[in-house]
Structure 1
């Protein structure tokens, strides 16, 4: 498949007066625009989240002391570097991450992986974030006299989902230009909420029974797995960077992406841990949304809920946008805008189910932990491929799906990629500790959860070794083109 030649010319950003019709198509040099630092706000706006409060509070509920919780929270920012690393493939290839991974899994293998992984990740995060805004808004409605425990969250979910899909329809231009303002608004609201939380913090907090030895390591590793699953799930980061000029420095892309996620999420997750020290267990049992609103003055409650909804729309708008392109990359004959509507409908359905069957804290912790078995290996293999190829991706070759093309491999399947990601997920499951399932090795170690490091190391090592010994022949013309594009 031929594509127009690309240069380093840069065009102005696309107008906001119409929806973005572009899907996974190659972005020519004349359509490239922006700077790496623009990505900071793109990732900061979704990271100023009530989910940070929720998972931060869960660190204390796991039995940790404050300093131990802070140590785990800080360490959980490290995986954001992988989010930044895979983002640099976007400008190099000029297309979405769900297309770039054809280099990892093969043309046909990629369809299977994206169909399973892409939809699972997208629906989980759509549901978790819509669930957060639904529970918060429903709690506020209950305080105002509307006490139906199901109808309230369902109505909020439907309205917020509709707005979210609208953001995804307008796409990259709207996200890039509106998210800096959204990040400032959310930061102001959440800092104001933090100011009312801090007076209730028990700075001398100590758990009823201090954990030591294996129980302590179990608590801290489970907490790390919950927190790390969020940045590891963002292997869609190339989608947000793909409009940048090819000449953009990779180090700047990595820094802007990683810092945009690390700084706000680390701060507000720490605030969530502090919140849990000043709220008794009975109040937390009613739900973190109830505990939060109880600490705020009446005038701030609606503002905070509005901030939660804005954050939900910003994060899920980006998720829906990238998921709609994943739809196209697996070969479904549908344009991006209808695909975004379908993604929204799937996420809404899952959210409504969760609203009627679980609490926010239970849903967040359980689903984020299980997510590791998929997000850990797929992020590890993507990052490893970027390193092995030195970020040399030819967009033209990625869109060549004919037998014999550079990424056709073995009948359309790249066995090293497929086997490595299965091995990584399967091995990690042996080391996972959760309320739903505990792997046999984790159980033998007293509940210590090593699913994150195991999934990353095993997948990366297996892929690097297998690709080294099974590296396919590369057409000299292809090699020359990849070198010229680097």
Structure 2
């Protein structure tokens, strides 16, 4: 059954059965349509600035995306089983208050990716119009373009799941044509052996590309994907179907624009300003398509993480509605775009936030996945909502609402990973000991898993959990 076009009022409270009418293919199209955008192509440009050639980037992006999927795709089952967002569902493992750790991570991830999408969309509008008019891009024009894109994206996020899923599905065809036409437009300048001078050498550059152009994409959805799988009914759909549709959507949706971005960056020799180089080298017939990609393409790319920010703010502050949270998040993100552009370079800012947040999000995802398996893949929906209803107690209360074992495991993993993280803005002290290779994400995953299993998950052994076939029907209070 198709979702009705209406402003969604539902927050992170348990999703009732009559609203769980989406299909796994709906989630797949959301993931594909929201990533076929200019903002996603930026992550293909980044490895070019590191000095990698075409086939090196293809290998890094493909391998990294596949590795990230091993962690992110199974996490689609948290929202599917618990009928709520992934961060609220993770309260079963971190505690109903400890799950705020995931909410903060989700907020930061979504904030960063929304900012990149708004910047990309606004910048595309400015550089294309500047080329057509023959004038230099002005700061006033940039401010107006960023603000206009932010308003459009905020409207989409406030509309909610139904509007986002419709827009994402509609955008798949046109954006696929835009990217396909772009291959034709920029093919004359493509040289697979070309690489930009400077940047890290050899293995360090490839490892950095593995993270920024590959692993970071799926991991960014670890806290987000449950926002959409909570609309799938376990009575009508299998867990395998949910995982495979999520994996297919993430793999195709993330890899295609990343490789397109690398292709265009190499064709235009975009070592510095990515979008200005793209607009300058584009044939005249492609400029309208580039403008369309800048405006329409960023809607899903920014709308999906902004929608998540609204939900996370509602989870952090239950008395605040999801719609108010989405609007506030749009204003905060717009301010971040202006601040980031005026203080640090785009390449440095994007690379830095991707590396650091991937390291911080990975141990959370590892613990949530282990906990999901250890709890038998079932959740007590009533007890998950204790914090949202300003109550206390329940099977996920642990110690004052915090599972200190899970939180300690996350802290240990994040700290270990940050010590071995390497980016233009931050280099951990252990990077020199690992031969200059940034393996912080692997270290964070390994340390968090070991500590969590050694300390014990904290779940009450032998205590039966109510079957999800009854608990997920619990009436939800909408906000």
Could you tell me how far apart the structure 2 residues matched to 1:451 and 1:475 are?
A: 37
**How far did 1:433 drift?**
1.0
In the alignment, is residue 185 of structure 1 matched against residue 174 of structure 2? yes
1:319-370 residue CA offsets vs partner (Å, 9 max, x unmatched): 1212111112123411111111111111111012123334433332222112
Between the two proteins, the alignment pairs up a number of residues equal to 464
Contact kept in structure 2, 1:55 and 1:361, CA below 8 Å: no
Pairing partner for 1:274 from 218, 241, 263? 263
Contact kept in structure 2, 1:128 and 1:363, CA below 8 Å: no
SS, match of residue 47 in structure 1: coil
Could you tell me how far apart the structure 2 residues matched to 1:474 and 1:29 are?
A: 28
Could you tell me how far apart the structure 1 residues matched to 2:35 and 2:64 are?
A: 14
SS, match of residue 284 in structure 1: coil
**How far did 1:291 drift?**
1.4
Gaps of 5+ in 2: 473-479
Q: Which residue of 1 aligns with 2:4?
A: 15
Q: Which residue of 1 aligns with 2:111?
A: 123
Contact kept in structure 2, 1:179 and 1:314, CA below 8 Å: yes
Distance change >3 Å, CA 209–CA 133, structure 1 → 2: closer
Contact kept in structure 1, 2:49 and 2:271, CA below 8 Å: no
Pairing partner for 1:357 from 332, 335, 343? 343
- With normalisation by structure 1, the TM-score equals 0.89
SS, match of residue 185 in structure 1: helix
Distance change >3 Å, CA 410–CA 209, structure 1 → 2: closer
Could you tell me how far apart the structure 2 residues matched to 1:422 and 1:452 are?
A: 13
Q: Which residue of 1 aligns with 2:78?
A: 89
Contact kept in structure 2, 1:93 and 1:100, CA below 8 Å: yes
Could you tell me how far apart the structure 2 residues matched to 1:209 and 1:284 are?
A: 10
Pairing partner for 2:376 from 378, 390, 396? 390
Q: Which residue of 1 aligns with 2:47?
A: 59
Could you tell me how far apart the structure 1 residues matched to 2:165 and 2:288 are?
A: 27
Q: Which residue of 2 aligns with 1:70?
A: 58
Could you tell me how far apart the structure 2 residues matched to 1:148 and 1:66 are?
A: 30
1:140-170 residue CA offsets vs partner (Å, 9 max, x unmatched): 2322255353222211111111111111111
**How far did 1:127 drift?**
0.9
Distance change >3 Å, CA 474–CA 435, structure 1 → 2: same
1:394-440 residue CA offsets vs partner (Å, 9 max, x unmatched): 21221134443111001111012111111111000121111121111
Gaps of 5+ in 1: 1-11
Pairing partner for 2:300 from 314, 317, 322? 314
1:176-230 residue CA offsets vs partner (Å, 9 max, x unmatched): 223211111111111111221222111343676999xxx4221111111212222
Please, which moves more after superposition, 158-167 or 394-403?
Answer: 394-403
Could you tell me how far apart the structure 2 residues matched to 1:299 and 1:65 are?
A: 28
Could you tell me how far apart the structure 1 residues matched to 2:401 and 2:462 are?
A: 15
Contact kept in structure 2, 1:41 and 1:183, CA below 8 Å: yes
In the alignment, is residue 150 of structure 1 matched against residue 150 of structure 2? no
- With normalisation by structure 2, the TM-score equals 0.90
Q: Which residue of 2 aligns with 1:32?
A: 20
**How far did 1:383 drift?**
2.1
Q: Which residue of 2 aligns with 1:374?
A: 360
Contact kept in structure 2, 1:124 and 1:367, CA below 8 Å: yes
Could you tell me how far apart the structure 2 residues matched to 1:309 and 1:363 are?
A: 22
Residues 397-416 of structure 1 aligned to structure 2 (within 5 Å) = 397-401=383-387, 402-416=391-405
Could you tell me how far apart the structure 1 residues matched to 2:347 and 2:193 are?
A: 24
1:31-86 residue CA offsets vs partner (Å, 9 max, x unmatched): 22122122111000122132343322332332333322221111111212422211
Please, which moves more after superposition, 53-62 or 231-240?
Answer: 53-62
In the alignment, is residue 173 of structure 1 matched against residue 171 of structure 2? no
Q: Which residue of 2 aligns with 1:437?
A: 426
Contact kept in structure 2, 1:225 and 1:451, CA below 8 Å: no
Q: Which residue of 2 aligns with 1:8?
A: none
Could you tell me how far apart the structure 2 residues matched to 1:153 and 1:353 are?
A: 13
Could you tell me how far apart the structure 2 residues matched to 1:327 and 1:299 are?
A: 43
Distance change >3 Å, CA 272–CA 179, structure 1 → 2: closer
In the alignment, is residue 233 of structure 1 matched against residue 220 of structure 2? yes
In the alignment, is residue 46 of structure 1 matched against residue 34 of structure 2? yes
Please, which moves more after superposition, 336-345 or 149-158?
Answer: 149-158
Please, which moves more after superposition, 305-314 or 183-192?
Answer: 305-314
Pairing partner for 1:423 from 407, 412, 417? 412
**How far did 1:22 drift?**
1.1
RMSD value over aligned CA atoms?
2.4
Distance change >3 Å, CA 129–CA 206, structure 1 → 2: closer
SS, match of residue 411 in structure 1: coil
Pairing partner for 1:109 from 98, 120, 125? 98
Distance change >3 Å, CA 429–CA 168, structure 1 → 2: same
In the alignment, is residue 261 of structure 1 matched against residue 247 of structure 2? no
Contact kept in structure 2, 1:64 and 1:219, CA below 8 Å: yes
Distance change >3 Å, CA 51–CA 76, structure 1 → 2: farther
Could you tell me how far apart the structure 2 residues matched to 1:203 and 1:374 are?
A: 34
Contact kept in structure 1, 2:175 and 2:293, CA below 8 Å: yes
